[in-house]
């Protein structure tokens, strides 16, 4: 008994020490690392260390097979490892992000860094990092999570090994909708709303394309039996140091709600009323529409559907409610002051909801919830010892500095870990979550649950989205999203309408599943097994290890010609069956989230050094701290409150109160 307690104490002690970035306990740490299993054998070969006495899981990378609190420690140590090794800048030290002198991009050439008003988030994301004002701004390059020499674009293998259209047909094609019953349809809408804040590769390059051979009877093929995919827009900011897989982000990298506020000055002007800091809402309580496209006027309106309409309407209302609150407390403030402070509060409220609520719904796992809380607020010593008060008290007595636990990123000093912030190309790849989208939506009345209308997804897409709200009560549509399911992140669950998607305004019909694969290959995203190696995880040896279902194994073997190392990252992630409890997607892609989740908070001065009353106001900080997604919905649509009351996470199915 004593030995076991001692082993736990040592494990916790070492874990907490490393978590707080404190003392490195040398060989002893290495012993725990090996015991908790995130170091590969290769890495351990050069070190000798004491072994731990607790049982080691069959596969040491599987932190979730450890007993508490070793599971949490193993994950924290892994996070620590990738934070040190897998955050890689696309700029070399003598290059300045977005230096106009080397860029053909007019958006960058026209840029001046005027950071005199350092109190507000700027439209293009400059001046967040005051020492290097271009960092994280619009048009700067994506970083990487793997060494740059492992990011070459695929060439011969891109179109044909295996043919991406074949992969889409044989492995992605949805046969029957597979729901994810623990998450509602807001999960899909929310995450697309988020990625439109974080990244976009811009308009594809019509002058350079990829030709995928298809069969004669393929409805998407041209007269030469090819599907033509325009390539990703090239980096206009080339230097002798940049490579052809360094692409630019067309929106700001920061978590600054640019999908609402826009990443350029013209769009930003169009969304603002210039009165009391507020954003424009039309008389019908929704966003005004662009006359030419019929799409809402907002920061980012590509790939639109009714899920995005809901998000933008709700958050525009929330912005305006924050303005009312600020004006009530500061009647002398200008429109500009109200707008920019409201933007800070809205961005932080969204970031907190995403961190603590959305992610907890899709990764409903005890250890991950603890890690998410530690990213935002930090965790106490008692929480990190899994509630074991005796262990916590013992540690605090022995090492008083541990009594503070693990500090959160929010409100603590900024930490870039020596690498200028940008989101990464791998981060984009792991957010290819299109299977979350269902095939149809049944709108049910929030008053009694009866069916109001039924739509196939193509009927709620692009500018048709607005008709759904013309013909239905928005509260019914919100209630529907609260109770309908998102799709499961599995093979054979990619919506078929996205595999034959008619792009608006005379655009082509595309197979988005195929394009997801092509993009990863052209952007130098490693295939599944190589990706695992680069993320310090053991590769899978057989198809059976990836998924035990004989039908899936047979299909994978056929498509990939029996070569496990050719499996695309997207496909491997969807096939992976051995995942932690509560996970809505694979553990492999989770590893990128594990590194990004904290980084985008701790590198942003508005979430760290400047997360203060001076910047946000006292009431603003309270607003961020007390607002979950259900609060936002209930504030603007009080009739939904009783339904929301049943659920402690607004991204899990709500149920009803009829
Ligand atoms: C009905 C809903 C949706 C439509 C119509 C849609 C459509 C598209 C299209 C047309 C692209 C660009 C393809 C290209 O590279 O040429 C794209 C990219 C992407 N979509 Fe979706 N999408 C939808 C929902 C979602 C959802 C729910 C997610 C979840 C996160 C998502 C994640 C992404 C990502 C990560 C990219 C890559 C962006 C980039 O390369 O910068 N999409 N989508």
Calpha distance 364→468 (Å, rounded): 32
Query: Which residues contact ligand 1 via a Cβ below 6 A?
Result: 188, 191-192, 195, 199-201, 204, 303, 305, 428, 431-434, 436-437, 512, 515, 519
Atom of ligand 1 nearest to the CA of 495: 1
- The predicted structure's pLDDT at residue 359: 96
Binding-site residues for heme b sit at 434
Is 455 one of the annotated active-site residues of the chain? no
Q: Give 25-43 as a DSSP string.
A: -HHHHHHHHHHHT-S-HHH
Whole-angstrom distance, CA of residue 424 vs CA of residue 446: 41
State how far Cα 433 lies from the chain centre: 10
Pocket test of ligand 1: the residue of 303, 429, 495 to mutate, having most ligand atoms within 8 Å of its CB, is 303
Q: How many residues does this entry show for the chain?
A: 658
User: How confident is the model over 486-496, as pLDDT tens digits?
Assistant: 999 999 999 99
Give the residue, out of 426, 434, 513, with the most ligand 1 atoms within 8 A of its beta carbon, to mutate for a pocket test: 434
Distance 196 CA to ligand 1 centre (A): 9
User: Could you tell me the distance, in angstroms and rounded to a whole number, from the CA of residue 249 to the centre of ligand 1?
Assistant: 15
Residue of minimum CA distance from atom 43 in ligand 1: 303
Give 363's strand partners. 583
CB 373 within 8 A of CB 357: no
Question: Catalytic pick from 91, 431, 485, 616?
Answer: 431
> Which residue shows structure tokens 């990123």?
409
List per-block mean pLDDT (blocks of 10 residues) for the chain, which spans 658 residues: 36 41 30 36 30 45 87 84 94 75 70 84 94 91 96 95 98 98 98 98 96 97 97 86 90 98 95 98 97 97 98 98 98 98 98 97 92 90 81 74 82 95 98 98 97 98 97 98 98 98 93 98 98 96 98 98 98 97 96 94 98 98 98 98 93 90
Give me ligand 1 centre to Cα 431, in Å: 9
Prediction pTM value: 0.92
CA distances from 361 to 365, 378, 470 (A): 9, 19, 31
Cα 303 to averaged position of ligand 1 atoms, centre (Å): 7
69 CA → ligand 1 middle, Å: 38
Interface predicted TM-score (ipTM): 0.99
Ligand 1 atom 33: residue of nearest CA: 432
Take atom 4 of ligand 1 and give the residue whose Cα is closest: 303
- Token pair of 380 as six digits: 């106490």
CA distance 530 to 499: 27
**Which atom of ligand 1 lies closest to the CA of 512?**
13
Q: H/E/C letters for each residue in 360-397?
A: HHHECCHHHHHHHHHHHCEECHHHHCCCCHHHHHHHHH
pLDDT value, residue 11: 43
Ligand 1 atom nearest 510 alpha carbon: 10
Q: Is 157 helix (H, G, I), strand (E, B) or coil?
A: helix
Residue 399 pLDDT: 66
């Amino acid at each position: 008994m004593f030995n076991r307690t001692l082993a736990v104490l040592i494990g916790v002690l070492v874990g907490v020490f490393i978590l707080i970035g404190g003392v490195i306990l040398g060989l002893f740490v290495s012993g725990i690392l090996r015991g908790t299993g995130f170091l590969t054998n290769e890495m351990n070969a050069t070190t000798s260390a004491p072994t731990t006495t607790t049982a080691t899981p069959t596969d040491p990378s599987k932190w979730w097979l450890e007993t508490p609190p070793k599971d949490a420690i193993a994950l924290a140590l892994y996070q620590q490892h990738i934070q040190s090794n897998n955050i890689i800048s696309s700029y070399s030290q003598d290059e300045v992000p977005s230096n106009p002198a080397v860029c053909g991009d007019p958006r960058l050439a026209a840029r001046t860094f005027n950071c005199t008003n350092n109190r507000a988030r700027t439209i293009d994301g400059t001046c967040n990092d005051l020492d290097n004002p271009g960092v994280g701004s619009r048009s700067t390059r994506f970083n990487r999570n793997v060494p740059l020499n492992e990011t070459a674009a695929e060439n011969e293998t891109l179109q044909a090994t295996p043919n991406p259209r074949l992969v889409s047909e044989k492995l992605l094609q949805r046969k029957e909708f597979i729901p994810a019953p623990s998450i509602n349809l807001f999960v899909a809408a929310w995450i697309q709303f988020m990625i439109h804040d974080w990244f976009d590769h811009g308009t594809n390059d019509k002058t350079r394309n990829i030709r995928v051979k298809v069969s004669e009877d393929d409805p998407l093929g041209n007269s030469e039996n090819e599907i033509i995919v325009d390539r990703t827009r090239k980096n206009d900011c080339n230097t002798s140091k940049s490579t052809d897989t360094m692409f630019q982000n067309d929106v700001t990298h920061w978590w600054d709600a640019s999908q609402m506020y826009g990443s350029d000055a013209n769009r930003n002007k169009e969304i603002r009323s210039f009165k009391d800091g507020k954003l424009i809402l039309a008389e019908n309580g929704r966003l005004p529409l662009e006359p030419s496209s019929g799409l809402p006027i907002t920061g980012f309106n590509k790939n639109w559907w009714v899920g995005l309409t809901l998000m933008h309407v709700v958050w525009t209302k929330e912005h305006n409610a924050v303005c009312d609150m600020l004006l009530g407390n500061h009647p002398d403030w200008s429109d500009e002051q109200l707008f920019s402070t409201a933007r800070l509060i809205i961005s932080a409220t969204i970031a907190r909801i995403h961190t603590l609520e959305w992610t907890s719904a899709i990764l409903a796992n005890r250890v991950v919830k603890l890690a998410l809380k530690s990213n935002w607020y930090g965790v106490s010593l008692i929480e990190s010892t899994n509630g074991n008060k005796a262990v916590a008290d013992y540690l605090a007595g022995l090492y008083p500095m541990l009594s503070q636990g693990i500090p959160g990123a929010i409100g603590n000093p900024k930490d870039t870990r020596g690498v200028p912030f940008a989101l990464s190309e791998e981060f984009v790849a792991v957010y290819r979550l299109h299977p979350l989208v269902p095939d149809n939506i049944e709108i049910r009345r929030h008053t009694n649950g009866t069916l109001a209308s039924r739509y196939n997804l193509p009927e709620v897409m692009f500018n048709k989205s607005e008709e759904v709200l013309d013909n239905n009560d928005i509260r019914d549509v919100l209630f529907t999203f609260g109770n309908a399911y998102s799709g499961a992140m599995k093979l054979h669950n990619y919506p078929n309408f996205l595999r034959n998607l008619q792009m608006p305004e005379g655009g082509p019909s595309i197979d988005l599943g195929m394009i997801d694969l092509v993009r990863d290959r052209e952007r130098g995203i490693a295939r599944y097994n190589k990706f695992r190696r680069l993320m310090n995880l053991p590769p899978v040896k057989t198809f059976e290890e990836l998924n035990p279902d004989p039908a899936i194994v047979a299909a994978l073997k056929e498509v990939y010609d029996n070569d496990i190392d050719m499996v695309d990252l997207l496909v491997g992630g969807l096939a992976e069956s051995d995942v932690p409890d509560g996970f809505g997607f694979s553990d492999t892609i989770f590893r990128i989230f594990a590194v990004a989740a904290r980084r985008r908070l701790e590198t942003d001065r508005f979430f760290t050094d400047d997360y203060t009353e001076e910047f946000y106001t006292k009431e603003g900080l309270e607003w961020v701290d007390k607002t979950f997604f259900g609060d936002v919905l209930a504030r603007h649509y009080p009739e939904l409150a009783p339904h929301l009351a049943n659920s402690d996470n607004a991204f899990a199915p709500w149920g009803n109160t009829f």
